[in-house]
Amino acid sequence: MSRFPLIAREGVLLLLAAILAAVVVLNLSGLQTSLPFWGLSLLILVIFRDPDREIPSQPMAVVSPADGRVTAVTATRDPYLDRDSIRVTLQMNPFGVFTTRSPVEGKVLQPPHTPEDTRMPHGVWLQTDEGDDVVMVMMRGRLHTAPRCYIRIGERIGQGKRCGFVHLGGQVDVYLPQRSRLAVDVGDWVRSGSDVIATLVHI
């Protein structure tokens, strides 16, 4: 793991601009005048921090795609694959990390259905080598900005790899096969990429 936290790509330009402004003001007007710009740089570092995570070596595990709290676990219809499923709803921590990570290793496929709910712009269908289907849905963030999705249809992604970003956090849903064995309850706090939320079960 990295010794120092990494920065999400969305924050790199903002951080560089804030540091540059701080350096310019420091040279022109002195330390005291530049302090607000150094404070802004620190704030950007906190908001866009993206630390490494240790991926658990647990066969058939599904890891949390986001930092946050489990707010609901329901048996429901998956609107993307039109199947019976278990939905785990995560509310991202407003003071946490806003990068999302892939819950499983697999191939990114095009969902055959598009839900009518316009709050769900990014449904990512992941199919594992064993044929299990997991769908991750990133809702709009607290500023109602659309989530960023880093992966494309046809790509292969590893478990726990960075796959998106939700500005200032929001809701993330995970649709699991109906026979999955859950590892979390409502109220549990989880970390993206490292905490297991379920295990895929083959009969």
Q: Return the amino acid letter for 190.
A: V
- Residue-wise pLDDT for 172-196, tens only, equals 999 999 999 999 999 999 999 999 9
Q: Is 56 among the domain residues?
A: no
Query: Do 131 and 35 fall into the same domain?
Result: no
- Residue pair 22/41 in contact (Cβ under 8 Å)? The answer is yes
Query: Do 85 and 144 fall into the same domain?
Result: yes
Tell me: pLDDT of 101 over 60.
yes
Query: Do 97 and 32 fall into the same domain?
Result: no
Percent pLDDT > 70 in the chain is: 92
Rounded Cα distance, 172 and 156, in Å: 21
Mean pLDDT of 4-13: 75
Residues whose CB is less than 8 angstroms from the CB of residue 95 and which lie 6 or more positions away in sequence, other chains included: none
Cα dihedral 17/18/23/29 (nearest 10):
120
pLDDT averaged over every residue in the chain: 89
Domain residues for the domain of 36 are 9-47
Q: Is 128 among the domain residues?
A: yes
pLDDT of residue 4: 44
Q: Is 3 among the domain residues?
A: no
Tell me: pLDDT of 77 over 70.
yes
Q: Is 106 among the domain residues?
A: yes
Tell me: pLDDT of 11 over 90.
no
Q: What is the pTM of this model?
A: 0.84
Residue found under tokens 């330009």: 13
Tell me: pLDDT of 5 over 60.
no
